[in-house]
A and B are shown apart, each in its own frame.
Chain A
Amino acid sequence: MRWWCAAVDAPWSWVPRPYIGVWILCGALLALYFRSRAVYRRDHPDAPADPKDRRRAVWFVLGTGFLWVASDWPLGALGAGYLSAVHMLQYMLYTLGAAPLLLMGMPEWMLRNLLRHTRLDTAYRLVANPVVAALLFNLVLIATHAPVSVDALRSTQVGSFALDMVWLLSGIILWTPVVSPLPERQARSAPAKLVYLFLAAAVVPMIPGGFIAFSPEPLYGTYELAPRIGPSALEDQQMAGVIMKVGNLPVIWTVMAVIWFRWYERDQADVRRRRDARRVAAARASGERLSTRATRGTATADGPAGAGPAGADPAGTATVTAPGASAPVATAVPSGPDLN
């Protein structure tokens, strides 16, 4: 049994063939994740329950699922040695599916502990810089899609494994400034995230994608000399180029839309909050005027003028007390042109 998908000479077969290394990796990820959570809960019994905890677990399991689908039979085997289009689809699943979901699935304490124990804090801090992250992600993209790299790495299980893991790592680097569990490692503002994602993940990959799609000859010996399944070597490569060129756009633009709408909602909430604060401040000022007038016996609050002692509470609302009553019977919110 082969432990990881690599290019083979044998014709393609639809008989399922699991790869033990993929199952071990995915199983180990899930086991470590849930064990860490259990240990953390045991060691921090007084830690407040995090309402996002369950959702994070779902993200992590989904991310592991993406990793498994991209690596195991049939996609893993097809992408390793038969079709460059599937090879490119694998790349998308690693970098745009598994990587962000695994990152989003990690609680803040887990990533902090992981970085501390592996002594990778400084490295993570550096790659979280959007410029560094964008450069590294695109450097990996270009280096790992160069024909010489693909042909050399896909021919062995170790090389193929290394290629897949480098893709996963580059995906984690790409998404760190956007969805890192460590808030201080995310890009500082929503507009910064939008610009970063647009340039790093949407624009740059179009260049190698176009080069692959419009090449007049097959670039990858691995796929050109593989037993054919469906399209010709050149058609397959053209599909791969198109996938690299535009396949990421639905994901990237959806994420950008979510960031933009959340930013917009936050902005609107800020506007509402500021308006409410102005109203309260104005009400206070108005209440003070009301209180002054009431003292002079010329109150204009709802109710008969001079019907009883009137005052203003600290919130700026004028209260009117009925004659002979000890408690206020009506509360009037002052209104004026500046409050509406």
Chain B
Amino acid sequence: MGSAGTDVQSAEDSAGPTPGDDPEQAIAGNRRLLIAFAAIGVVVLVVGLVVGTRSRTAPSDWAGTVLERPQEKPDLVLTDTSGRPYDLRAETEGVMTLLMFGYTNCPDFCPISLSTLSAAMEDLDLTTGRGLRMVFVTVDPARDTPEALRSYLDRFNVDFVGLTGTPEQVAAAQRAAGVPPAADDPPGEDGDYTVGHATQMIAYQADGTARIVYPFGTRRTDWNRDLPRLLEGERPT
């Protein structure tokens, strides 16, 4: 044996008896090892069960929240991004419509929700002409001019419809859609402010009735699973 072996020997001498010399210590070590392996096994088992359960039950579930009482599409007329009046019921008659309230300076919920939906629509090759319309109503009409709204929505999908109006019209639209009214947060030192608002998307099927809403956190894979079923007229229950 070379010098390395000598070093090992001397180190072992200095460290006292090796685990193999002390049966009690060896048993304790083995017990810890067993516990570690058992813990890893449990983790793997849990992961496997969760993944397996999800994959078995997912196709029959809806990702959104099914409403106990279906809601009719609200009767509201606002202004679209070209400056023309937009009658929601008339413009979207016979077309499945997703309705969302938000604003273009929203730092988190709006861009995430819109980009997730936009990606899913690309996956499903869905456009306005294929029976789905996305309508985004601003809750910050003071800053969201029709131009700003159009520019913002075009980042996600040029077919998304943007609506604005007076503060009173926007508040009435929220009431009509059954969502909590938005509220401006106090402005910061730079005068900038955020707006607290409802983050769900309400899904009105082609018959003009909403039976399900999609809260913030709905993922692309959820949209990919639910949208085709909704478009085919399947009623969430």
Please indicate whether A and B come from the same complex rather than being unrelated chains: yes
CA distance A183 to B33 in the complex (A): 21
- On chain A, the residues within 8 Å of B145 by CB distance are none
If A143-B43, A221-B219 touch, does A148 touch B112 (CB 8 Å cutoff)? no
**A130 contacts chain B at the CB level, 8 A cutoff:** no
**B25 contacts chain A at the CB level, 8 A cutoff:** yes
What 1/0 mask marks residues of chain B from 90 to 113 whose CB sits below 8 Å from any chain A CB? 000000000000000001100110
What 1/0 mask marks residues of chain B from 4 to 20 whose CB sits below 8 Å from any chain A CB? 11011001101110110
CA distance A136 to B41 in the complex (A): 11
The answer to whether B18 and A121 touch across the interface, beta carbons within 8 angstroms, is yes
Classify chain B: how many residues form its interface, as a range.
35 or more
Interchain CB contact (< 8 A) of A121 among B19, B47, B107: B19
Shortest distance from the beta carbon of A212 to any chain B beta carbon, whole Å:
15
Given A121-B29, A224-B116: 9 more A-B contacts, CB < 8 Å: A119-B32, A122-B19, A122-B25, A122-B30, A139-B44, A216-B123, A226-B112, A227-B112, A232-B119
Shortest distance from the beta carbon of A223 to any chain B beta carbon, whole Å:
11
Residues of A that sit less than 8 Å from B by CB: 9-11, 44, 108-109, 112-113, 116, 119-123, 125-126, 136, 139-140, 143, 146, 148-149, 182-184, 216-218, 221, 224-228, 232-234
Shortest distance from the beta carbon of B217 to any chain A beta carbon, whole Å:
6
The answer to whether B32 and A217 touch across the interface, beta carbons within 8 angstroms, is no
If A216-B123, A217-B220, A234-B119 touch, does A122 touch B26 (CB 8 Å cutoff)? yes
**B142 contacts chain A at the CB level, 8 A cutoff:** no
The answer to whether A139 and B40 touch across the interface, beta carbons within 8 angstroms, is yes
If A122-B33, A123-B32 touch, does A225 touch B119 (CB 8 Å cutoff)? no
Residue among B11, B115, B217 with the highest chain A CB neighbour number at 10 A: B11
Q: What are some 23 contacts across the A-B interface (CB < 8 A)?
A: A44-B14, A108-B11, A121-B18, A121-B19, A121-B25, A122-B19, A122-B28, A122-B30, A122-B32, A122-B33, A123-B30, A143-B44, A143-B47, A148-B47, A148-B50, A149-B47, A182-B11, A184-B8, A217-B220, A217-B221, A218-B220, A224-B219, A233-B119
B27-52 residues at the A interface, CB under 8 angstroms: 28-30, 32-33, 36, 40, 43-44, 47, 50-51
Shortest distance from the beta carbon of B131 to any chain A beta carbon, whole Å:
22
Shortest distance from the beta carbon of B211 to any chain A beta carbon, whole Å:
24
Q: Tell me what chain A mostly uses at the interface: helix, strand, loop, or mixed.
A: helix
The answer to whether B220 and A224 touch across the interface, beta carbons within 8 angstroms, is yes
The answer to whether A9 and B32 touch across the interface, beta carbons within 8 angstroms, is no
The answer to whether A183 and B107 touch across the interface, beta carbons within 8 angstroms, is no
The answer to whether B15 and A227 touch across the interface, beta carbons within 8 angstroms, is no
The answer to whether A225 and B112 touch across the interface, beta carbons within 8 angstroms, is yes
CA distance A217 to B44 in the complex (A): 23
**B224 contacts chain A at the CB level, 8 A cutoff:** yes
Shortest distance from the beta carbon of B150 to any chain A beta carbon, whole Å:
20
Q: Give B218's nearest chain A residue, CB to CB.
A: A225
CA distance A104 to B67 in the complex (A): 60
Q: Give A148's nearest chain B residue, CB to CB.
A: B50
Interchain CB contact (< 8 A) of B51 among A11, A116, A146, A218: A146
If A143-B44, A148-B50 touch, does A123 touch B116 (CB 8 Å cutoff)? no
Shortest distance from the beta carbon of B2 to any chain A beta carbon, whole Å:
10
Shortest distance from the beta carbon of A211 to any chain B beta carbon, whole Å:
13
